Structure formats: C-alpha cells, structure tokens
Amino acid sequence: MTFQAPSLEYGALAPMLVIFGAAVIAVIVEAFISAKHRSAIQLAIALGAVVLSFAQVLNLRGTATATAATNSVVVDGPVLFMQGTILVLAFFAFLLLADTDAFAAQASAIPGSSEERVALQTGKIQTEIYPLTLFAVGGMMLFPAANDLITLFVALEVLSLPLYLMAGLSRRRRLLSQEAALKYFLLGAYSSAFFLFGAAFLYGYAGDVSLSSIGAAVNGGGTNEAFLLIGMISLSVGLLFKVGAAPFHAWTPDVYQGAPTPVTAFMAAATKVAAFGAMLRIFYVALGGAVWTWKPLITAVAILTMVVGSVIAIAQRDVKRMLAYSSIAHAGFLLTGVLALSQEGLESALFYLATYGFSTLGAFALVTLVRDSSGEVTDLNRWVGLAKRSPGVALLFATFLLSFAGIPLTAGFIGKFTIFTAAYDSGNIAVVVAGVLSSAIAAFFYIRVIVMMFFTDAQDDTVTVTIPSLYTNLTIWIAAIATIVLGVFPAPLLDAIASLAVFVR
C-alpha cells in the first residue's frame, strides 16, 4: 500500500496558513524574547499577520469557489466574507488586547499569592494572550470553511481551547475569571462530545464525512432515518452551544462576565461569526434536504432563545451580563436567518453578523473604560449619571445600545429588517412575530441603561472613565462609525454580500 501525499492548495489556504504560522512564531517569541520587548513584538506579529491574511482573503475574492486540501476545506464567497469579517474584528480585538493591564501577569500563579505580586512588580508579564488569540482566530477561520465533519471538529477545538484559557486570564477578580474558564471548558467539552457523537451518527447514516455527501444522502433518501435524526440533533446541540442559543446558553453570562473584557469582546463578536458560519454551511449544504425535520425544532429554539435572552436581560444588574443576555437574544434573531434556508437568509445573516460584531466590539471596549480604583466597574448601578461626567462615553454606548435595539439609522436596524424579511419570505411568520415582540422587550433594558446614564444622578464619584489609549479609542470610533454608516448606507456592504454569498456544495 502506498501512501499518497495529499495535494494542498496553498493559495486557497493562505489566509489561514498565515494566521497559524504567525501563531507558532508568537509562541517562539513568547519563549525567547525578553519581557521588556515582548508585548510590542507580539502585537506587531499579530496585527501584521491579520493584515497579511486579510490581503490574502481579498486576493482570493475573484478566483474563489474551490475546495482545497482534498476536499476538506472549501473556499467560497460566504467563507471569504466570514474570514474577512473575523479578521477585521480580530484586528480591533488585538488593539483592545494590547492594553495589557487586563490580563494576569502569570496565569499559573495562584490568585493573591506572593508569586503573583512579584511578577506584577517586576514587570514579568506573560503575553501568551497573543498566540492564543491567533490560534483562536485561525480556528474561527477554518470553522465556516470546513467541508467535512472531521475538519469541523478540529476547527471547533482549535477555536475553543484557546478561548477556554483566555477566559481565565483576567488580572482582577481572578477567581471569578478562573471559575468562568472552568465552566466554559466543562460545558464546552460536553458540547464537543455531543458534536462528535452527532458526527459519528451522520457518518453512519451517509457513509461519508463530507458535507456534500451527507447532503446527497439526505436528498437521495438515505436508509437509516434514525441515524440522521440522532446525528442531526446532537450536532445541532454542539453548534447551538457555541452560538449561545437557549437552552444551551447558561455558560454565556458567566463567561462573558468573568473573562477579561477584551477577551469577552473578541469572543462575543468573532465566535458568533465563526459558529454561525459553520452552522449555516451545515444546515444549508448538508441538511438542507431534511429541512422539514429540523425546522420545527430550530424554530422552537430560535423563539425560546429570543425570549429567554430578552426577558432575563431585564433582571441583570451587571453590564457584561446584560450584554451577554443581549447576545443570546441576538443569537435567536440570527437563527431566523438559518431557518429561512434561502439565499436571502444567508445574505442577511452575513450582514447581521458583521454589523453585530462591530457594535459588540465597541460596546465591550467602552466597558473597559469605566473603572474605579480596583478595576472595571460593571455594576450597572454605578454607571448611573455617567453622561454627566463623560458625555462622550455615554453617547457612544447609547449608540451601540440603540443599534442592538434595532432603532433606524443604525446598522442593527438594517440587520433586523433584512433578517426578518428573509424569515417572513420563507413563510416563517411565527418567528418574525416572536422576534418583533422580543425586540420590544429588549428595547426596555437597553433604554433602561440609557436612562441610568443620562437621566439619573450619580450616587458616588469613585467611578471614573479612563482616557482611552490610542488603540482602544480607535476601536471604539471605528465601531461607532461602522454602526452608523452601515445603518445609513448599507447598500455597498449588502451588494458585496449579494455578489459573494453562494455556498459551494
């Protein structure tokens, strides 16, 4: 038996290869460069890799729609769009990460130990956050591009494992952060197991792991419907966990709250793109033929997710937890795009993901600015009267909230309009009505925050707003500008998506 080396289409894989290569280099840098220069070099590597990779994505734009690496990866329009989105979000996430005082000096040191203190005082600060993030970005880029169940699983793990670690790296409130990491890891491991279980059943059903073969088996009337059903449900559970859909959402608020805020920003914005990317591909390409089997189930999940996210968010007193529940509600809205199972559904979901990513990044970036002497202040009661002290921060935060709420002239509105249109067009009117009603509920807590910031007088003056560093400032402003511009002139992005968004089967 001869072993044949697989042919790899390096050109098509270039965007991911650049990121993974940079991640490996970053690990080496972490080991050999002195602490003094390390963070600057790491940042340069990370940003450079992202830019280079983005250039490769742009390069591939015209020539795309090909499978690569013996059919395990597909590079088509939606993939390129999602990879581009992830890279842009990652670029700004790196800028946020560059404000390193959010991270533990040494993740291995026990919280509160003298070791930790010494490390902080002597400036022996580890910067493993950069290679970890790079690996996660690479995994996220592979996830929506994966064309078979094995690659999907590998990508899922490559993107998840670094995130588990990153969630535990917070410098302040380290126990909370470590608890979040552990919780995320345990639940994530369960969901991975579900995913793998489902993958195994789908393999048993179709006799092949590639999505297109599964699609063909579904359309051709495969033999063992039970295998398909079990496989589909288990696989969905794994994916729904990643996007934070109810009833698999329980990790979201804890992890969002515990993780260092820049990591939360990255996670909330980019993971959603990757996970929904994979989900769209699986449901559109592999399981599209079985739509009548999964549609009722996913419809129920979508409605539940919207309602749970919007209703529980009302009770939150912590800004990060509130944003977490809001992200759950948005996952519900995005599921309506999956449910539409149409060209339009795909396009609107891509648009929604991009705009939501920007607003989320901006909102969490603003959270990093509101502090007292012991670090970030996430208790909403202490955000009261923020507009008086720093009208700029309050105004920008209000902009992002209004976009989440879907008020016209913000990107969130166009996103909601297009995605609900797609859902209505597919005949799924129940989801539209549920979406609209939960939007009304959601508006309540977004507005409550605006009221707190603008119309209530502050109780204590210990909360200050730090002057943002150039990096954070840039992120916030770009996010705000994107939120408004995409709300007023969405046409260019919508057209770009329309020209790209065809899945290769």
Partner 1 sequence: MNLLTSMGALPLLGALLIALLPAANSKLIKQAAFVISLLVAAVGFSAAFGFERNVTEFQYVERYSWIPGLGINYQLGVDGISLILILLSVVLVPIVILAGWNESENGRFSVKTFYVLILVLETMMIGVFAATDVFLFYVFFEAMLIPVYFLIGGYGSGARQAAAVKFLLYSLFGGLLMLASIIGLFVISGNQIGRTMDIEALSTLQIDSTTQNLLFLGFFIAFAIKAPLWPMHTWLPDAAKSATPGTSVLLLGVLDKVGTFGMIRYCIELFPDATRTFTPLIIVLSLISILYGAFLAIGQKDIKGLIAFTSISHFGFITLGIFAMTSQGHAGATLYMLNHGFSTAALFLTAGWMISRRGSSTIAEFGGLQRVTPILAWSFFIAGLSSLALPGLSSFVSEFLVLVGTYTRYPVAAIIATFGIILAALYILIPVQKALHGPTTPGNESLPDLNKREIAAIAPVIAIIIFFGFYPKPALDIINPAAIDTITRAGFSDPAPVVGGDK
Give contact residues for partner 1 (rule: CB under 8 A). Answer: 402, 405, 407-409, 413-414, 416-418, 420-421, 424-425, 429, 432-433, 436-437, 439-440, 443-444, 447-448, 451, 454-456, 490-491, 494-495, 498
What does R_g of the chain's alpha carbons equal in angstroms?
A: 22
SS3 content of the chain, % helix, strand, coil (to 5): 75, 5, 20
Question: What are the E-state strand segments in 370-427?
Answer: 370-372, 375-376
Least Cβ distance, residue 378 to partner 1 (angstroms): 23
Cβ distance to partner 1 smaller for residue 174 or 330: 330
Ramachandran region, residue 52 (left: φ > 0; alpha: ψ -120 to 50; beta: rest): alpha
Cβ distance to partner 1 smaller for residue 10 or 444: 444
Least Cβ distance, residue 233 to partner 1 (angstroms): 30
Least Cβ distance, residue 414 to partner 1 (angstroms): 8
* Among 419, 97, 378, CA closest to 258: 378
Least Cβ distance, residue 309 to partner 1 (angstroms): 16
Which residues in 170-190 are b (16+ Cβ under 10 Å) and which e? bbebbebbbbbbebbbebbee
CA–CA gap between residue 229 and residue 204 (Å, rounded)? 11
CB 442 within 8 A of CB 307: no
Least Cβ distance, residue 176 to partner 1 (angstroms): 32
CB 227 within 8 A of CB 204: yes
What token pair was written down for 118?
Answer: 């010494």
What is the DSSP secondary-structure string of 315-330?
T--BHHHHHHHHHHHH
Cβ distance to partner 1 smaller for residue 260 or 412: 412
CA–CA gap between residue 482 and residue 490 (Å, rounded)? 10
Cβ distance to partner 1 smaller for residue 154 or 498: 498
* Among 170, 123, 185, CA closest to 264: 170
Least Cβ distance, residue 489 to partner 1 (angstroms): 8
Omega into 111 within 30° of 0, i.e. cis?
no
Q: How many CA atoms lie within 13 A of 63 on its CB side?
A: 11
CB 120 within 8 A of CB 105: yes
Cβ distance to partner 1 smaller for residue 418 or 483: 418
Query: ∠ CA(483), CA(468), CA(106), 5° rounding?
Result: 110
DSSP letter at 4 equals P
Cβ distance to partner 1 smaller for residue 43 or 363: 363
In which element (H, E) is residue 469 found? none
Cβ distance to partner 1 smaller for residue 52 or 498: 498
Least Cβ distance, residue 497 to partner 1 (angstroms): 9
- What values do phi and psi take at 48, rounded to 5? -60, -45
Least Cβ distance, residue 326 to partner 1 (angstroms): 16
CA–CA gap between residue 228 and residue 293 (Å, rounded)? 10
What token pair was written down for 172?
Answer: 């302040």
Least Cβ distance, residue 432 to partner 1 (angstroms): 6
Least Cβ distance, residue 232 to partner 1 (angstroms): 28
Cβ distance to partner 1 smaller for residue 47 or 494: 494
Cβ distance to partner 1 smaller for residue 340 or 353: 340
Least Cβ distance, residue 439 to partner 1 (angstroms): 5
Cβ distance to partner 1 smaller for residue 209 or 329: 329
CA–CA gap between residue 450 and residue 444 (Å, rounded)? 10
CA–CA gap between residue 58 and residue 487 (Å, rounded)? 24
Ramachandran region, residue 302 (left: φ > 0; alpha: ψ -120 to 50; beta: rest): alpha
DSSP letter at 102 equals G
Least Cβ distance, residue 415 to partner 1 (angstroms): 12
Cβ distance to partner 1 smaller for residue 184 or 356: 356
Cβ distance to partner 1 smaller for residue 293 or 456: 456
Residue listed under structure tokens 């707190």: 452
Least Cβ distance, residue 434 to partner 1 (angstroms): 10
What are residue 379's DSSP bridge partners? 318
Cβ distance to partner 1 smaller for residue 282 or 307: 307
